[in-house]
A = this chain, B = another copy of it.
Amino acid sequence: MASTNDELARGSDILRSAQAEVMADIDRLFDRLLPVPHDPRAPLYEAMRYAAIAGGKRLRPLLVCAAGNLFHVDRSASLRVGAAVEAMHVYSLIHDDLPCMDDDDLRRGKPTVHKAFDEATAVLAGDSLHALAFEWLCDPATSTDPFVRGELCCELARAAGPAGMAGGQMMDLAAETSNFDLPTVTRLQQLKTGALIAFSVEAGAILARIPPEGRTALRAYARDIGLAFQIADDIMDVEGDEALAGKALHKDAAAGKGTFVTLMGLERAREQATALVDQAIGHLASFGDEAALLRAIARYVVERDR
């Protein structure tokens, strides 16, 4: 799996330009999809825009576009699905930051939604983005094929619900008072962040009408980068820079929570993350040069914010 320095530099260039494009496109799309109405709901839309526009690395929309590229999916379709999955991600950040959950004051370098607005508006802005994600997916503008739209909705619902993201957050709250072992922490993270990352990758193949049996390699890739992403997150929580991360760090240790770092040690966690990235790239062997962006993303997930 060793890559030459030339390959790494080229991957890094591909990633930088693709990410910059996706970031600009998603901002534009959110701006268009979230017009502020001239009625008492205005603060709700302002809160959604505050949380959704001009923030974050847009990893999930980038994954949709990168996987869609493999199968020559129309970019505007990938971007719509990207906006839906990012709306789902942003809603989860808004709710996770609430005082009754992780009680965070800072997100993406600015005050969290309940700090900038109020708690009720934050709950409703999250709820609204949650519903809009499905509304955007179901729209014929996403795909003219109703089977495709239906499968996207179904998979996103699974990834977001109690068997996915919301279930993972529930486990994360329980982690503060339980001593979870490594398999349980792994499962927690597969639900909390892995499910939505896996959806993002698979969505590119769904848009291209690739049947489930043709998505095995992509699913394996997604599983590995999802886990590597979370191990990197736990490492960042220990040794990261809050200003670079744009959010509060060192919270897991303070809460006495079992993480990949506390359970494996910093050194083994770092090795494991690197091994998962190599393994993820290995799953893409059957794809040629058109998978260069997915390979670069795999390297990126363990190198963000450093």
Q: Using a CB–CB distance below 8 Å, which chain A residues touch chain B?
A: 39-41, 43-45, 48, 95, 98, 100-101, 118-121, 123-124, 126-128, 130-132, 134-135, 137-139, 146-147, 149-151, 153-154, 156-158, 160-162, 164, 166-167, 169-171, 173-175, 178, 180, 184, 187-188
CB A159 to nearest CB in B, in angstroms, measures: 9
Main secondary structure of the interface of A (DSSP, over half): helix
Can you sample 5 A-B contacts with CB below 8 Å?
Answer: A41-B170, A43-B170, A127-B160, A131-B161, A134-B157
Please, how many angstroms separate the alpha-carbon atoms of A118 and B101 in the complex? 10
Are A157's CB and B131's CB within 8 A? yes
B40 touches A184 (CB 8 A): yes
19 extra interchain contacts, Cβ-Cβ under 8 A, other than A44-B167, A149-B150? A39-B187, A40-B174, A41-B162, A43-B174, A44-B170, A95-B124, A100-B123, A124-B166, A124-B169, A127-B127, A127-B130, A127-B160, A127-B166, A128-B167, A131-B161, A134-B153, A138-B151, A150-B153, A153-B153
| A281 CA / B91 CA spacing, docked (Å) | 41
- Nearest first, the 3 A-B pairs at minimum CB distance are A131-B161, A100-B119, A135-B157
Distance of A187 Cα from B37 Cα, bound (Å)? 14
Q: A129 to B257, alpha carbons, bound, how many Å?
A: 27
Return chain B residues, CB-CB under 8 Å to A160. 127, 131
